[in-house]
Amino acid sequence: MNADLFTALARPVAHDALVVLTLDAAAAPLEALLSAPIAGERLLWDSGEAAWAFAGVGQACRLVASGPRRTASLMEQAQGVFHRMVERSELHADLPRPRFFGGLAFHPQALHDEPWSAFGDASFVVPRWLYGRRGKRAFLRLALRADELGATTRVNDELSHINAALWSTKRHCGVRAMDITEMPRDTWDHLVTDALAAIRAGTFEKVVLARRSALRSKVAFDLAQGLTRLRALEPSCVRFAFEEGRTAFFGATPERLVAKHGVLLETEALAGSIARSDDDDDGARECLLASDKDRREHAFVLDGIRSALESMCRHLEVANEPVVRTLRNVHHLATPVRGHLCRPGHILELVDALHPTPAVAGLPRSAACAWIVAKEPCERGWYAGPVGWFDEGGDGAFVVALRSAVVRGLEAWVYAGAGIVEGSNAGHEYAETSLKQATMLSALGGLP
């Protein structure tokens, strides 16, 4: 065992303390930690660029909440945990502070339908082991309850497994055969027809419909393998993974919900899509920018963000025109938004104000959400919900859990959605959701 770790474990602390110890580590792919043979749920957070990325296994502390006041409950619980946290990381003062990772369901309600029964309405953890990496720098962090500090043999064994995993050169397999069951076209067509009727009746101006495809393979799906593929398929997206028991939810989303540091925030409107064209990609971008239907859909989202944040900010900076963001299969309209908050507050307050945006629910929000819950044939669970992290100061980052899938053993479920406004066509929207699902099908090994 590392001598510094052994010494830190031997120091006495209060009986209810949560002790956090940090060690230097070798730089390795994040997914390597997820392959270590250690008991406990796994997680991953990788926003790319020059930011710190994280992989975790096990849990030292968990927060759970439910209902309309779930974010308030999470903040109150987290404050108590941070108050009793003891950091033993004096030589690593410039490293990221301890934080909770997790997410919230799209709609605040108990989750009963498969594959979501293992996931709560809101759940966040401080991982037992956390591996952090930024470029060539890396660290390993262990969080233990005070009553676990004497279990040095277990810690030593786990540390050996982690070191072996980080240095492993294991390679993953390629394309696999699988059976895919999609939502029937007539079910989707009826759903879109009902949505357009509700729009014309004045129930809402926009609603976002989601559908899922069920997959079955003869070989168990591998979370680390899927995440590795996503890094290659969508390098500009935020990768995430959260595991509950034997079930894992993961994806690579293009949509930031909100990031906060002190009184500064960043968010964006992302709505309006068109398939990429092999023949004339510039033409596809121009077509998207000129599309009245997509510009209206995008404007709904931007107006919703403005409305949610204006009372909380001294200043909002919004770009005059959207830009086109290009992903593997689709182009999106995107408008960045930056703001200066009236007070520092907590990022979960911003999550509560923004979620769900018109990009994943509709406008007006309450009417669209009520319609979605009543009409969609499959429970969304954490799909299109906020996932991310927050620290003791209330800073953090959250994304909208899109381009995602759930895996459990031989089974997987892939999700995608499309915004419905006046002028939407059921066939076109079904094709759009197929394009969006293609990334996850590739990540799972069903497509090259």
* The two structure tokens encoding residue 441: 């099908």
pLDDT of 5 > 70? The answer is no
Torsion sign across C-alpha atoms 75, 345, 365, 439: negative
Q: Chain centroid to CA 378: how far?
A: 19
Phi-psi region of 166 (alpha: psi -120 to 50; beta: other; left: phi over 0): alpha
Per mean pLDDT, which range of 97-111, 114-128, 267-281, 305-319 is the poorest?
267-281
pLDDT of 336 > 90? The answer is yes
Question: For the segment 358-404, what is each residue's pLDDT rounded down to a tens digit?
Answer: 989 999 999 999 999 999 999 999 999 999 999 999 999 999 999 99
Beta-bridged to residue 122, according to DSSP, are 65, 104
User: pLDDT at position 9, please?
Assistant: 63
Q: For a pLDDT cut of 70, what percent of the chain falls above it?
A: 94
pLDDT of 211 > 70? The answer is yes
Taking residues 171-198, report their average pLDDT: 87
Beta-bridged to residue 124, according to DSSP, are 63, 102
Average pLDDT across the chain, whole number: 91
Question: For the segment 90-128, what is each residue's pLDDT rounded down to a tens digit?
Answer: 556 689 999 999 999 999 977 778 899 889 999 999 999
* Integer angstrom CA distances of residue 313 from 165, 214, 342: 45, 42, 5
- Nearest residue to 251 via CA among 25, 419, 412: 412
Q: For a pLDDT cut of 90, what percent of the chain falls above it?
A: 75
User: pLDDT at position 91, please?
Assistant: 55
The most confident of the ranges 10-14, 91-95, 442-446 is: 442-446
Taking residues 230-253, report their average pLDDT: 95
pLDDT band at 177 (very low <50, low <70, confident <90, very high): confident
Taking residues 252-274, report their average pLDDT: 95
The total of other beta-carbon atoms located within 10 Å of residue 311's CB is 8
Per mean pLDDT, which range of 137-151, 183-197, 420-434 is the poorest?
137-151
CA dihedral 424, 402, 74, 223 (to 10 degrees): 160
Q: Which residues are catalytic?
A: 206, 255
**CA 92 – CA 86 distance, rounded (Å):** 14
pLDDT of 190 > 80? The answer is yes
* Integer angstrom CA distances of residue 98 from 80, 166, 435: 14, 21, 37
Domain boundaries, the chain: 3-166, 178-443
Taking residues 48-75, report their average pLDDT: 94
pLDDT band at 13 (very low <50, low <70, confident <90, very high): confident
Q: Are strands 396-400 and 386-391 parallel, antiparallel or unpaired?
A: antiparallel
Q: Quick one: three-class SS letters along the chain?
A: CCHHHHHHHHCCCCCCCEEEEEEECCCCCCHHHHCCCCCCCEEEEECCCCCCEEEEECCCEEEEECCCCHHHHHHHHHHHHHHCEEEECHHHCCCCCCEEEEEECCCCCCCCCCCCCCCCCEEEEECCEEEEEECCEEEEEEEEEHHHCCCHHHHHHHHHHHHHHHCCCCCCCCCCCEEEECCCHHHHHHHHHHHHHHHHCCCCCEEEEEEEEEEEECCCCCHHHHHHHHHHHCCCCEEEEEEECCEEEEEEECCEEEEEECCEEEEEEEEEEEECCCCCHHHHHHHHHHCHHHHHHHHHHHHHHHHHHHHHEEEEEECCCCEEEECCCEEEEEEEEEEEECCCCCHHHHHHHHCCCCCCCEECHHHHHHHHHHHCCCCCCCCCCEEEEEECCCCEEEEECCCEEEEECCEEEEEEEEEECCCCCHHHHHHHHHHHHHHHHHHCCCCC
Question: For the segment 134-169, what is each residue's pLDDT rounded down to a tens digit?
Answer: 999 999 999 998 888 877 888 889 999 998 888 876
User: pLDDT at position 1, please?
Assistant: 44
Q: Is 283 exposed, middle or buried (0-12, 13-18, 19+ CB in 10 A)?
A: exposed
CATH topology of domain 178-443: Anthranilate synthase (3.60.120)
